[in-house]
Amino acid sequence: MPPVEKSGKSGTTFSPEEVKVVFVLGGPGAGKGTQCANLVRDYGFRHLSAGDLLRAEQDREGSEYGEMIKKYIREGDIVPMEVTVKLLENAMKEDIKDKHGKGSFLIDGFPRKMDQAEHFEDTVVPSRFILFFDCPEEELEKRLLNRGKTSGRSDDNVESIKKRFKTFVETSMPVVKYFEDEGKVENVSAVASPEEVYQHVKERMEKRGIPVKPRA
């Protein structure tokens, strides 16, 4: 991966005036991807999924990180943060290079560990707020096992799911708590139908001053 030069005001790659970032968190299977697709359509965000970027890097021929990523994902552990932050930063740079450096991004499934959060906000750009999809474990497990029938993912099986839940509770929830204390979390219940959940998501966007994309 190429080095990234710093251009933001406080030593970050991007300035928060030009690059809007909303972190999207929630247990595995909470519906983050589904709701992000709605937000891309209506608000003009770009969607970057940390898990998808890691899976692409894992499968990329010649990647020096492929084997390591594979192992972490199968075990439901958090990949060392330098790799994930760099993949996100590169994807953001690629996306805004033809857009006068401006962009807005939903970063899905990130940050899942405190060091990822700090490293990203210190070196890439501070986030605007965090959209957190709240869902009980029984419901998440049901959804993941169902998805596992067709997803082809190495980690949508009972054993990996248990480990992912444990990582989520022990490692990722403290990140949500940290941002909550900063007043940066919008908590949305993810138990209802996707349509109902999206109604609540739209209310939170309005509350945070994110405008709907003008219709073409």
Query: What is the contact surface with Mg ion in residues (CB under 5 A)?
Result: 33
Q: Report DSSP state, residue 154.
A: T
Which of residues 24, 78, 96, 140 is near ligand C5P by CB under 6 A? Answer: 78
Contacts of residue 33, Cβ cutoff 8 Å, sequence gap at least 6:
49, 108
Q: Report DSSP state, residue 191.
A: S
Q: Report DSSP state, residue 188.
A: E
103 binds ligand C5P (CB under 6 A): no
84 binds ligand C5P (CB under 6 A): yes
Rg (the chain; Cα; Å): 17
87 binds ligand C5P (CB under 6 A): no
Secondary structure element (H or E) that encloses residue 181, with its range: helix 173-181
Minimum Å gap between C-beta 67 and Mg ion is 22
Q: What six digits make up the tokens of 201?
A: 């998501």
Interaction pattern, residues 21-40, with ligand C5P; x per rule: CB under 6 A? -------x------------
Minimum Å gap between C-beta 77 and ligand C5P is 6
CB 201 within 8 A of CB 213: no
Position 208: which residue type? R
* Count of residues engaged in binding ligand C5P, rule: CB under 6 A: 17
Minimum Å gap between C-beta 54 and ligand C5P is 5
110 binds ligand C5P (CB under 6 A): yes
CB 204 within 8 A of CB 188: yes
Residue 110 interacting entry, from ligand C5P, Mg ion, none, C-beta within 5 to 8 Å by type: ligand C5P
Q: What six digits make up the tokens of 28?
A: 């595995």
CB 103 within 8 A of CB 95: yes
Minimum Å gap between C-beta 125 and Mg ion is 22
Q: Would you tell me which residues interact with ligand C5P (CB under 6 A)?
A: 28, 50-51, 54, 72-73, 76-79, 84, 109-110, 112, 116, 155, 164
Binding residues for ATP: 29-34, 147, 192
